[in-house]
Amino acid sequence: MAYYLGRDVKVAMTTEDSANGIGADGMVEATDADMYITSIDAEGGTIFTSVNNQITNPFSDVTGVDITLGTVDEDIAYMGQRTALKAEIKKETTISITLKKNSNFWDLLFTTARYGLNTAGSDEHDGLTQPGADTGYRFHVQLKASGEVITISNAQYASKSVALNTDGVTEETIEFVSHVTPVIGTAAYTTPTAAGAF
User: Mind listing the pLDDT tens digit for each residue in 49-67?
Assistant: 444 555 656 788 899 999 9
**Cα 105 → chain centroid:** 14
Q: How far apart are CA 148 and CA 67, in angstroms?
A: 15
Q: Which residues, listed in sequence order, are joined to residue 177 by a DSSP beta bridge?
A: 94, 156
Of these ranges, 45-54, 132-141, 162-171, the one predicted with the greatest mean pLDDT is 132-141
Predicted local confidence at residue 28, as pLDDT: 45
Count CB-CB contacts under 10 A for residue 146: 8
Domain that holds residue 29: 2-197
What is the tally of structural domains in the chain?
1
Please tell me which residue, 189 or 1, carries the higher pLDDT value.
189
CATH of the domain at 9: 2.30.110
Give the model's confidence band at 46: pLDDT under 50 very low, under 70 low, under 90 confident, else very high: very low
Q: What's this model's pTM, rounded to 2 decimal places?
A: 0.81
Q: What are phi and psi of 109, to 5 degrees?
A: -65, -40
* 27: pLDDT strictly greater than 50: no
Give the angle subtended at the CA of 96 by the CAs of 92 and 98, to the nearest 5°: 175
The distance from CA 167 to its chain's CA centroid, rounded to whole angstroms, is: 29
pLDDT value at position 97?
Answer: 94
Residue 182 binned pLDDT confidence (cut-offs 50, 70, 90): very high
**What is d(CA 128, CA 170) in angstroms, rounded to the nearest whole number?**
33
64/130: higher pLDDT: 64
Average of per-residue pLDDT across 105-134 = 80
Q: Which residue has the higher pLDDT, 56 or 170?
A: 170
